[in-house]
Amino acid sequence: MSDKPIKIPGPDHPITTERNPGRVVVTLGGRVVADTRNALTLREASYPAVQYIPREDTDMSLLERTDHSSHCPYKGDASYFSIPLGGERSRNAVWTYEDPHPAVAAIKGRLAFYPDRVDSIEESQS
C-alpha cells in the first residue's frame, strides 16, 4: 500500500462523518439487508452522502465477499460484497474500508450500499 498516495481531506476535497440520528433500512428482494439506528453519514466533496452501517446491524448471511477491490486516495482500499439475492444487479453492491486512512477512521469495518444495486435505502426519524 506504500506505493499508493494518501491524500488528506481539506478545503479542496472535504470529507466529514457524523452520526445519523435516524433509522436507516436497506432492502432487497423483499428482505431487510440492514436495519440500524447507528449509521454514520459520510459527506465527501460534491458526491451524494453515503450511509455507513455497522456489520452487527446487517444480515451478513445475505452477503458474499468478492475479490473486487478499489482504492481511494482519501479513504484507502475498499473490499466488496455481493448480495446473491439480487442476482447480477447486486454484484459488488456493498463496499467496506477495513483499514481506512486515519482521516476517516470512523468508517472502519462499516458497510455502504450502492443505491442502484439494492431496492431501497430508506432514512427515517422514527
Taken as a whole, the chain contains a residue count of 126
Rounded to 5°, angle at Cα 98 from 95 and 104: 90
Cβ-Cβ contacts under 8 Å for 98 (sequence gap 6 or more): 77, 79, 108, 109
For cell 452501517, what's the residue? 53
pLDDT more than 70, % of the chain: 98
Residue pLDDT, tens place only, 84-107: 999 999 999 999 999 999 999 999
CATH code (residue 51): 2.170.150.40
**pLDDT of 5 above 90:** no
* pLDDT value of position 2: 56
Mean of the pLDDT values across residues 73-89? 97
Say how many domains are in the chain.
1
Domain-embedded: residue 90: yes
Q: What's the confidence (pLDDT) of residue 24?
A: 98
Write out pLDDT tens, residues 16-39: 999 999 999 999 999 999 999 999
Identify the DSSP state of 13. Answer: B
Q: Which domain holds residue 22?
A: 15-124
Does residue 8 lie within any of the structural domains? no
Cα separation, 47 vs 104, whole angstroms: 16
